[in-house]
Chains A and B, each alone.
Chain A
Amino acid sequence: MSARRHRSYAAHLGHRLSGLALAVFLPLHFLALGLALEGADTFDRFLSFAELPLVKAAEWGLVVFLGLHLFFGLRLLVVEFLPWSSDADDRAGLIGWGTAGALVLGGIFLWGVI
């Protein structure tokens, strides 16, 4: 339906889906960490586990989703609790900034691990 074709709707989807992705992903993340850390020479095993490309890519996704969820959530708080400057101003501009912020976080993460 074309009533959905606008940025705020996309942000709504982004916020909910990143939240779901985090909810599904975080337990797996901790489970994987927990398994990797079990047993002897813990730290080495952790390092070699974290070096796996798939794990790296997944961790990158986790960081970006976390950023999206954080920034889109902050926008909602701004929309719902700060005064509006006009009737049409649902701070859609913050959506672009939030997306950029999440990508920057992802970039910092990549810079740190590669």
Chain B
Amino acid sequence: MSDTVQTPTAEPGGSGIKTLEVQIWRGGAEGAFETFSVPRRDNQTVLDVVTEVQRHHVPDLAYRFACRVGVCGSCAMTVNGTPRWTCRTHVGKVAGDGKLSIAPLRNLPVIRDLVTDMGEFFDKWTKAGGKFTGTRSRAEPMAEVDPTSRARRNADAGIECINCAVCYSACDVVSWDKDYLGPAALNRAWTLLNDSRHAAQNETLAAATAHGGCGSCHTQGSCMRACPVGISPTRSIAGIKRMSLLDFLGMRRS
């Protein structure tokens, strides 16, 4: 049947476009966009486009990637104004009109071109009480965690975070308040607060509710819509708020 015949560029939004007009950020914070023409290819991802520009146009273009399959969390950039994993973003999904703008992640200092300094993002994980404190040695039996318990299910919902900072870049409170720990760090704290093996429960709760912690979140919900894994930091942060209230009232279960 004729309608099953696929043209090579029959991806949604990509049909008919032969060349992409790609704007890529060059330089540091004071840099500017530079425009390149890149051929439109089948199954092309935004990361493919960046790689092609680096190979054929500007060999000194700085960008990060590693796994190319959405596992390592290193390739996040701002694509047409939205923070995304570039390796898992198909051009056909975001550039229906053949235009792409690729910039470094927002809310992080730009080192050069598409590379940001993620130091503060990771430091905030520690600040939010995100360091696991175990009590057992390897000589002791493994801790038993009931997979059906509410705490385990809460932890499950947030545990797949790969530290990509997409949510951090989507959140306006992070831009407004440099002390705000941000959605990913607080999500991490929430998974620990639901981990029965984590010994430093009170310390993590104190860190996650201190200045810059969960109380600073305005429940904008941009983080949960941006997270490529489908994690809901908004929900995790709400969980910490609820837990801290129960703690204040002396009604916290743990």
Q: Cβ of B222 < 8 Å from any Cβ of A?
A: yes
A3 and B225 contacting across the interface, CB-CB below 8 Å: yes
The residue of chain A having its C-beta at the shortest distance from the C-beta of B222 within the complex is: A3
One of B222, B230, B241 near A80 (C-beta < 8 A): B241
Most chain B beta carbons < 10 A, residue from A3, A6, A76, A81:
A3
- A interface: dominant SS: helix
What distance in Å separates the Cβ of B226 from its nearest Cβ neighbour in chain A?
A: 5
Asked, given contacts A1-B82, A8-B219, whether A84 binds B226 with beta carbons under 8 Å apart, the answer is no
Interface 1/0 per residue, A70-81 and B, CB below 8 Å = 000000100111
C-alpha gap A84/B238 in the complex (Å)? 10
Closest to B79 in A: A2
B56 at interface by CB-CB < 8 Å: no
CB pair B224–A87 under 8 Å, yes or no, is: yes
Judged by a CB distance under 8 angstroms, whether A90 is at the interface is: yes
For chain B, the bracket of interface size reads 20 to 34
Instruction: Verify B170–A3 contact, CB threshold 8 A.
Output: yes
A8's closest neighbor in chain B, by CB?
Answer: B221
- Counting residue pairs across A and B whose Cβ atoms lie within 8 Å, the total is 66
B219 and A90 form a contact (CB under 8 A): yes
**B232 and A80: CB pair below 8 A?**
no
Smallest Cβ-Cβ distance to A6: which chain B residue = B225
A2-B80, A2-B82 known; A88 vs B224 contact (CB < 8 Å): yes
Q: Is the CB of A9 within 8 A of B221?
A: yes
Q: Shortest Cβ distance from A23 into chain B, in angstroms?
A: 17
Taking the closest CB of chain B, its distance from the CB of A84, in whole angstroms, is: 5
Q: Does B70 contact A (CB under 8 A)?
A: no
* Complex interface: chain B residues within 8 A of A16 (CB): 218
Q: Number of A residues whose C-beta is below 8 Å from B? A: 18
A90 to B225, CA, bound (A): 10
Tell me if B220 counts as interface (CB < 8 A to partner A). Answer: yes
CA distance A16 to B219 in the complex (A): 12
Measured CB to CB, the nearest residue on chain B to A7 is: B221
State whether A87 touches B157 (Cβ < 8 A): yes
Q: What is the CA–CA distance of A8 and B222 in the complex, to the nearest angstrom? A: 8
Which residues of A are found within 8 Å of B224, using beta-carbon distances?
87-88, 90
If the complex has contacts A9-B222, A90-B234, are A2 and B157 also in contact, measured as CB distance less than 8 A? no
The interface residues of chain A lying within 8 Å CB-to-CB of B83 are: 3
| Interface flags, B205-242, vs A, CB<8A=1, else 0 | 00000000000001111101110001110110010011
Q: How far is the CB of B180 from chain A (nearest CB, A)?
A: 14
B225 near A1 with CB under 8 A, answer no
Docked-complex contact B235 and A9, CB < 8 angstroms: no
Given the known A-B contacts A8-B220, A16-B218, A80-B219, are A1 and B81 also in contact in the complex, defined by CB atoms under 8 Å?
yes
In the complex, which residue of chain A has the Cβ closest to the Cβ of B237? A80
Nearest CB of chain A from residue B100's CB, rounded to whole Å: 14
Enumerate 23 A-B pairs (CB-CB under 8 Å) in ascending A order.
A1-B81, A1-B82, A2-B80, A3-B82, A3-B169, A6-B222, A8-B219, A8-B220, A8-B222, A9-B172, A9-B222, A76-B219, A79-B234, A80-B219, A80-B238, A80-B241, A81-B242, A87-B231, A87-B235, A90-B224, A90-B234, A90-B235, A92-B221
